[in-house]
Structure 1
Amino acid sequence: MSRALQQKIHVGCRKLGLDSDGRRDLQLAVTGKASMKDMNEAELNSVLKRLKTDGFKASSGSKKHKLASRADLRLVHVLWRELGAAGELRDSSRKGLNKFIRARFETTWQSIPADVDMLRQHDQIDQVIQALKSWGKRADIEFAWEDHQR
């Protein structure tokens, strides 16, 4: 548990703009100890409580979808994000990607999954990738991942 608390403290300090010296000063002020290694769980909780008082809001990672386990599905997400960053999308969220897939492939595919990460057929995933690449090409977007492949 203390490792998780230490990670939360590091995240909280980073979000509040504290560097490592600032974090140590805060820890020293709250617990009298500059190093987290010397603190027990109660002291770590005190530091975290102070960070929350100063404006840090810890968020649970459980609300987020896990990354797709397959590289080709991750590529779909990367292409979608890059199209969004280039200003090509009205909705660059995951929901927007799912809407795009439904609209683009509803007449071609027999069934469309509710979420992009539920796609399992390689040819369907490849069709989505090709559609996103074509969109990028029409919009004169050079995808960042292409630089690494050359």
Structure 2
Amino acid sequence: MRAVLAACRRLGIDGDARKDLQLEVIGVASMAHMSDGQLGRLLDHLNRDWKRGNQDRPHIGKIKALWWSLYWLGAVGDPGDRAISAFVQRQTGISALRFLDHTRAHSVIEALKDWLAREGVVWPESLRGGDGRAERFAVIDAIAGRFSDPAVTFQATRRGLGLPDARALWSERELDDLIRQLGKQLRAASQ
């Protein structure tokens, strides 16, 4: 309902015009009498011409990255948006990740980090500054640590990706590729 009201404010639609639109589009004048699906259809209608990227919503990418890290560690079976949204709803009551604002995202991010810590990710103290590289290395170390010979697996995967010996030279994209490769190997080995 809040998202519908925000979309109406953005479009300059007042309360009476909103009720008329709701009746026209959904067949129900009151949002209180709409199902979640009807509210979603109304919101889709209001946002049909609005294009906004996720550059102002970095929390969405952060949540997805943490969820994928859980997937690569074998802690979740489904890395898709539906599974993430179900987790978000259990944590916040908000029906989908796309409706999550940055103020409510903090609790979801912290819950995912706690879950990853239970799965063996050791978050460095420097994380308070939001160091993406340190976070990625923590996930890489946790995934590699699950192999019978972590050093051999890690080095073979690193060489296979063409990464130089010096870890300081790796970009965040290269670290993401390393997480994916190690995760694929770990998931394949556990099946």
Shorter chain as normaliser: what TM range?
Answer: 0.3 to 0.5
Structure of greater Rg: 1
TM-score, length-scaled by structure 1: 0.44
TM-score, length-scaled by structure 2: 0.35
